């Protein structure tokens, strides 16, 4: 066997050995390395997600007192029961502060709000007497009661007082207040109206 032939056989054998080494040993290892890299990337992504969740939970825990206070304040605006004595006291205080003579408060029975579960409305009719600016101040105070209310209608009619012959306004106000259970839900986008601006008053005659 010539030297050239020996070299060729040795070269072929070396190639075969290299191929066998790659197929049997190196290729599986490379596959394992690739899988390990994927696992590391997945673990890093999961770590980032967990860190973000931990940060959020930490913020929630840190803000828990403020959140509890806000929920307590909200429960005053949407109590679970009509609490008519408390509501009447709020309205009476608003009338006293405005200098309005509050004459009657007539609430209707609670009625379920359409499109919501656990939410009810109570229609309340108020009658009062006062001058225009006092009535205006009274309406502003009604809008800022610690209850969720919606002024639906206002009727004004002038009347002369028996003492000074000055004109005052007989005022009838129709408003709706709301109550909501803790598990109240809305469907179809229905929402409980928040305190809203008063509609333009309709007057019979000139104030």
pLDDT in tens, 132-179: 999 999 999 998 888 888 899 999 999 877 666 678 899 999 999 888
**In this structure, are 96 and 139 located in the same domain?**
yes
Q: Which of 121, 128, 95 is nearest to 107 (CA)?
A: 121
52 against 150, higher pLDDT: 150
Q: What is the DSSP letter of 127?
A: E
Q: Is residue 169 part of a domain?
A: yes
Q: Is residue 68 part of a domain?
A: no
Residue 124: pLDDT band by 50, 70, 90 thresholds? very high
**In this structure, are 144 and 188 located in the same domain?**
yes
Task: Kindly state the tokens that stand for 196.
Answer: 């809203």
**In this structure, are 118 and 190 located in the same domain?**
yes
Q: 3 has which bridge partners?
A: none
The answer, yes or no, to whether residue 188 has pLDDT greater than 60, is no
**In this structure, are 92 and 193 located in the same domain?**
yes
Dmax (CA) of the chain: 143
Compute the distance between CA of residue 122 and CA of residue 145 in angstroms, rounded to an integer.
15
Compute the distance between CA of residue 186 and CA of residue 177 in angstroms, rounded to an integer.
17
Our count of domains for the chain comes to 2
Residue 109: pLDDT band by 50, 70, 90 thresholds? very high
Compute the distance between CA of residue 97 and CA of residue 74 in angstroms, rounded to an integer.
24
**In this structure, are 23 and 96 located in the same domain?**
no
| Contact predicate 143/175, CB 8 Å | no
**In this structure, are 32 and 89 located in the same domain?**
no
Mean of the per-residue pLDDT values of the chain:
75
22 against 55, higher pLDDT: 55
**In this structure, are 5 and 89 located in the same domain?**
no
Compute the distance between CA of residue 181 and CA of residue 119 in angstroms, rounded to an integer.
6
The answer, yes or no, to whether residue 47 has pLDDT greater than 90, is no
Q: Is residue 40 part of a domain?
A: yes
pLDDT of residue 102: 94
pLDDT of residue 159: 85
| Angle between helices 27-62 and 64-77 in degrees, nearest 10 | 50
The answer, yes or no, to whether residue 43 has pLDDT greater than 60, is yes
Q: Is residue 70 part of a domain?
A: no
Residue 80: pLDDT band by 50, 70, 90 thresholds? confident
Across 33-47, 48-62, 171-185, 189-203, which has the greatest mean pLDDT? 171-185
Whichever domain contains 194, its CATH number is 3.30.70.60
**In this structure, are 5 and 100 located in the same domain?**
no
**In this structure, are 50 and 112 located in the same domain?**
no
pLDDT of residue 130: 92
What are φ and ψ of residue 113, in 5° steps? -85, 130
* Containing structural domain, residue 193: 78-203
**In this structure, are 82 and 38 located in the same domain?**
no
Q: Is residue 69 part of a domain?
A: no
């Amino acid at each position: 066997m010539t030297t050239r032939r020996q070299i060729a056989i040795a070269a072929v054998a070396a190639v075969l050995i290299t191929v066998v080494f790659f197929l049997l040993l190196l290729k599986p290892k490379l596959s394992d390395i690739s899988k390990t890299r994927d696992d590391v990337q997945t673990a890093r992504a999961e770590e980032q997600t967990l860190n973000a969740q931990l940060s959020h939970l930490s913020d929630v825990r840190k803000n828990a007192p403020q959140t509890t206070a806000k929920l307590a304040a909200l429960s005053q605006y949407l109590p679970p029961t009509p609490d008519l004595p408390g509501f009447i006291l709020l309205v009476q205080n608003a009338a006293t502060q405005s200098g309005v003579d509050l004459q009657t408060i007539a609430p209707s029975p609670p009625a379920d709000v359409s499109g919501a579960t656990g939410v009810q409305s109570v229609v309340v009719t108020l009658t009062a007497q006062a001058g225009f600016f006092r009535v205006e101040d009274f309406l502003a105070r009604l809008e800022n009661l610690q209850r969720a209310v919606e002024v639906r209608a206002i009727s004004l009619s002038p009347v002369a007082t028996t003492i000074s012959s000055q004109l005052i306004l007989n005022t009838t106000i129709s408003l709706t207040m709301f109550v909501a259970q803790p598990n109240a839900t809305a469907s179809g986008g229905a929402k409980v109206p928040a305190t809203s601006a008063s509609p333009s008053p309709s007057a019979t005659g000139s104030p």
